[in-house]
């Protein structure tokens, strides 16, 4: 016969309710007790009945995670971190990709609302008003979007953009191209806000652009034509596309033009030249988003995570 919750409680000398809490709300159980219960459950082959728990608790123990583009190397670390954190709380994660399409995003949210206890929205493309309307049907935590009254995990893009511009200014660059991302991007708005307040710099704005390598490649000729000696790109993929386009025009990086990206994805580290970038705390954001979704009374809580500039080979001193 399959082991029961009573068998597990008897094996480790605790009350049945403690075993139940270990699986339904592990954060409320003493770590030592939790480890003992999990070890006993594993030894006995006990698995909680999720359907029965859903009926008694009114929860599905599932959450949705929606990203803008799963092919973008920025998102997988968020997904893996969120899945690991959710698993530690005995939750399952359903992952979906909108392909940068707000209509698909809305459709996915409406579908998930019937199957999950909440949704993590990573870099959403929907308007704030639409997200607020959809939040009437299912709880959200938003990653990299600030919406009044809604829990959010923000990576400090403004901090990173200022670090990047200060770095370029320190290298003697004055005319700098800022290559933004898609329409409605909070990250682009944050970058442009910092750039607008920068003093002593001649900033040229290009956008909106697709947040991909092809998006950067498409704008490279315009960047070269504007006479900028440096580029701050929406993300690393765009930055790599700009570098590729400049290289095709025999414009050297960083000898003639310096380039800075955002995210710190693996391809940027493997590129030649290795990409100078603003590192985004993707893993920490994934974990924190799960915690905000599951914690009681988390409505409206906002957590801001620091970013950091990583200087590599794609930036150098401006030509005199």
SS3 of residue 61 by DSSP = coil
Six-digit token pair at 225?
């034509």
**How does pLDDT run along the chain (320 residues), one tens digit per residue?**
678 889 999 999 999 999 888 877 777 889 999 999 999 988 888 877 665 555 455 678 899 999 999 999 999 999 999 999 999 888 999 999 999 999 999 999 999 998 999 999 999 999 999 999 999 999 999 999 999 889 999 999 999 999 999 999 999 999 999 999 999 899 999 999 999 999 999 999 999 999 999 999 999 999 999 999 999 999 999 999 999 999 999 999 999 999 999 999 999 999 999 999 999 999 999 999 999 999 854 567 899 999 999 999 999 999 97
Which among 242, 210, 209 has a CA at the least distance from the CA of 225?
Answer: 242
Render pLDDT for 86-121 as a digit per residue (tens, 0 to 9): 998 889 999 999 999 999 999 999 999 989 999 999
Distance in angstroms (rounded) separating the CA atoms of residues 2 and 15 = 19
Handedness of CA 303, 152, 122, 231 (dihedral sign): negative
Q: Rounded to the nearest 5°, which phi and psi values hold at 233?
A: -100, 155
Contact partners, residue 249, CB within 8 Å, separation at least 6: 220, 221, 224
Which residue from 132, 160, 128, 162 is spatially nearest to 145, judged by alpha carbons? 128
Task: Give dist(CA 124, CA 313) in Å, integer.
Answer: 32
Q: Are residues 282 and 123 in contact, defined by beta-carbon separation less than 8 angstroms? A: no
The secondary structure element, H or E, covering residue 187 is: helix 186-197
The Cα 61–Cα 264 span in angstroms is: 32
Q: Per-residue pLDDT tens for 32-86?
A: 999 999 999 888 888 776 655 554 556 788 999 999 999 999 999 999 999 999 9
Longest alpha-carbon distance in the chain: 81
pLDDT of residue 51: 56
Q: What does the pLDDT read at residue 159? A: 98
CA–CA separation, 300 vs 114, rounded Å? 23
Q: Which residues contact 201 (CB under 8 A, 6 or more apart)?
A: 165, 169, 173, 174, 175, 176, 195
| Consecutive H or E run containing 130 | helix 128-134
Q: pLDDT at position 297, please? A: 47
């Amino acid at each position: 016969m399959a082991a029961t919750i009573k068998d597990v409680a008897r094996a480790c000398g605790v009350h049945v309710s403690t075993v139940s809490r270990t699986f339904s709300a592990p954060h409320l159980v003493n770590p030592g007790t939790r480890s003992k219960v999990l070890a006993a459950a594993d030894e006995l082959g006990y698995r909680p009945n999720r359907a029965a728990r859903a009926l008694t608790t009114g929860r599905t123990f599932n959450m949705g995670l929606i990203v803008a583009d799963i092919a973008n190397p920025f998102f997988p670390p968020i997904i893996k971190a969120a899945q690991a954190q959710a698993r530690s709380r005995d939750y399952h994660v359903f992952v979906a990709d909108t392909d940068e399409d707000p209509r698909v995003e809305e459709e996915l949210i409406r579908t998930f609302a019937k199957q999950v206890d909440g949704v993590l929205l990573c870099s959403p493309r929907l308007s704030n008003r639409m997200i607020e309307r959809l939040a009437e049907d299912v709880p959200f935590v938003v990653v990299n979007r600030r919406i009044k009254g809604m829990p959010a995990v923000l990576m400090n893009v403004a901090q990173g953009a200022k670090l990047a511009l200060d770095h370029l200014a320190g290298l003697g660059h004055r005319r700098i191209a800022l290559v933004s991302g898609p329409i409605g991007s909070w990250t682009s708005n944050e970058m442009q806000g910092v750039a607008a307040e920068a003093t002593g710099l001649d900033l040229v704005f290009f956008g909106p652009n697709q947040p991909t390598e092809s998006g950067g490649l498409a704008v490279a000729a315009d960047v070269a034509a504007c006479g900028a000696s440096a580029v701050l790109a929406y993300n690393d993929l765009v930055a790599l596309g700009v570098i590729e386009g400049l290289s095709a025009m025999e414009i050297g990086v960083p000898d003639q033009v310096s380039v800075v990206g955002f995210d710190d994805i693996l391809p940027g580290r493997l590129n030649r030249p290795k990409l100078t970038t603003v590192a985004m705390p993707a893993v920490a954001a994934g974990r924190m988003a799960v915690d905000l979704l599951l914690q009681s009374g988390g409505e409206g809580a906002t957590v801001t995570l620091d970013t950091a500039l990583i200087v590599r080979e794609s930036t150098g001193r401006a030509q005199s």
